[in-house]
A and B are shown apart, each in its own frame.
Chain A
Amino acid sequence: MTSDPQQRQKESWPGTPMKGAQVLIEALEREGVDCIFGYPGGAIMPVYDALVDANLRHILFRHEQGAALAADGYARVTGKVGVCLATSGPGATNLVTGLANSFMDSVPVVAITGQVATSHMGTDAFQEVDIFGISMPVVKHSYIIRDAASIPTIIHEAFEIANSGRPGPVLIDLPKDVANAVVENVRFFEIAKAAPEQPQSDQLAIARDLIAKSRRPLVYAGGGTRIARASREVREFVETTGIPIVTTLQGLGCISGKHPLFLGMLGMHGTKNANMAVQESDLLICVGARFDDRVTGKLAEFAPHAKIIHMDIDPAEIGKLRRVQCAIQGDIKTALANLAVPTDIDEWVAQCKANKETYAWRYDNPTEKVYAPKFIKELSDRAAANTIITCDVGQHQMWVAQHYQFDSPNNHLTSGGLGTMGFGLPAAIGAHFANPQSQVINMSGDGSFMINVQELATIKRYSLPVKVVIFDNQALGMVRQWQELFHEERYSEVSLHDNPNFVRLAEAFDIPGMEVRQASEIDGAIERLLNEKGPLLVHVHIDPKDNVWPLVPPGKSNSQMMEAKPNAKYA
């Protein structure tokens, strides 16, 4: 591998003519792609033809959104670019939610769409949509390939863009005539990854000074730690300085959920001690996070006493929403490794730890019903450390974030920025192909599960040992909770009382299922979940009235957390 672009380029089989579609597949293989997720159709047929002779594996999904979200899940686990493939028109538009999901959570994905022939583009041809235009706001970059000879260059560039700096999705639209065109002298590129930008030493010096002088410092770590694979550096920084840490939803696992200095997730459904620590801190060390509204609550009252050190690879994030005292733009691994200075913060750490104990979660459930947090905590205690959990969106997602203790951010796949219901099942399939050795469990809700339920067919086809847990509260629970709390209990279209029989549904795909109705059945269900060789669907009935606590009401400051009513079951 060499970083010199002139040297990187190397000639391959001079004179061997190839079709554009074959060049595309060859270029993907040269980028190290081992599997791609997709769905065929007219305009992409040349590529599917070339796939017959390819070395890489194609996984057929049952909806293009599934393929796009699987590519996203695959990329989150491996750190490599996930690739999805679809035809023109409806195939391409079905990818858009997946692209937006990857865009919002900075996930490296390359999406390839078939397009009608160049001569037909712009004529409202059959299955023509302007996917280049439609996807523009949710991609990092995009291409329409006009000349088959440029395919290797474009693929190489697309992979570089997707997975360098702040990662994101790249779309490549391939007209059918270009895919069929013959290229005489194909030139390919070898893989070379640009080194991440390094932080500036003067800013690091300012940061060290701020940290040394601070009496109440706090690390606020986000998804950037997952992207940079900086868990080790985060842990070492926290342990050498003794500074407590809170994380965002995407940052969970960058420090072990069991670590004594970990105070939990912050923000809307964060722990009380995490939010209190933020509100009281005098220095917030923001590592790869972006002051999202779910995290800050009322921005003007977020961490009101804190100076800010903001580390991010993306210069546009630094100072976007909060003025900073120290801006460290570049690789957070290098930055963290250069910031360990002696601190004098014993009193503060003791206070944080005391609060952590005072506000620790309670799992003493007085009823016979299943309490989802208890199920999740039990699973977390018993599952292997490398278990990958994928989530959907809603109350169950927040319960997983609160109660599952992750050891790596790459084991927690959750749609944060976009909040895509239906993410969990396809992401679990992508995660399985990314890491077949790990157990993969999709924790879903009765609403979310139905959004990409068709992917049960994908599990069946490839005999995947993917597990699904559905927390069934017969409702679009998170929306119901908001209607209860903020719309005077005017419930509107949130009841799912007529859910299908999920176990029978799974059986239709030859996937065994089981039901859990009582707290006493949790133990056996988890036992089976962890030991079943093939796929399994566990349908867990929970109390429809259970809510996620604590909660910062929309527009309120993080110091105004609502907690369960004193007379509620789980105080």
Chain B
Amino acid sequence: MRSTLDIRLNNCEGALERILCRLRQRGYALCDMNVRRSADFSAFVVEVTIESDRPMDQAVKQLTKLFDVQSVKLHVQHKEVLPGNGYAQREKESELRVCASV
């Protein structure tokens, strides 16, 4: 599944890196990303599209846990799946089944 998230985070050293690191490590492949600073420069406003077999609400929860993250909104769930995504492929092979959340 492919989804777009709206993330707002503190404009702090490493904050952007941290969200990318977390998404990659938890199994969400990056498809697209847009970053701008808020008008007062205190925050980053990020729109990121990710793809994974894993539930998207887990990505939201994992990002929300980060100290620098102010808010995360799951804003578009894309219907069609793009072929040849490395993460999704590997996931299927390794037979890991993650159940949907609450």
Contact = CB atoms under 8 A, between A and B. Distances in A.
B98 A321 contact: yes
B55 to A, nearest CB: 8
Interface stretch (A39-47, A188-196, A312-320, A421-429): A312-320
Interface string B65-85: 111100000000000000000
A314 B66 CA distance: 12
Contact of A140 (B21, B67, B100): B67
Interface stretch (B1-9, B11-19, B41-49): B11-19
A136 B21 contact: yes
Contacts of B22: 137
B34 interface: no
Given A137-B21, A319-B100, A320-B98, A161 B67 contact: yes
- Label chain B's interface by main secondary structure: loop
B92 interface: no
Contacts of A132: 13-14
Interface stretch (A276-284, A322-330, A545-553): A322-330
A136 B18 contact: yes
Nearest to A144: B13
A299 B67 contact: no
A389 B90 CA distance: 40
Interface residues of A, number: 24
Chain B interface size, under 10 / 10 to 19 / 20 to 34 / 35 or more: 20 to 34
Nearest to A166: B65
A341 interface: no
A22 interface: no
B102 A324 contact: yes
A37 B43 CA distance: 36
A133 interface: yes
B99 interface: yes
A88 interface: no
A327 B102 contact: yes
A68 B65 CA distance: 24
Given A133-B17, A316-B58, A323 B100 contact: yes
A143 B12 CA distance: 9
- Most A CB within 10 A of own CB, among B14, B17, B62, B102: B102
27 contacts: A132-B13, A132-B14, A133-B17, A136-B18, A136-B21, A137-B25, A141-B66, A141-B68, A143-B13, A144-B13, A146-B13, A161-B67, A299-B97, A300-B97, A316-B61, A316-B62, A318-B101, A318-B102, A319-B99, A319-B100, A321-B99, A322-B99, A323-B99, A323-B101, A323-B102, A324-B102, A327-B102
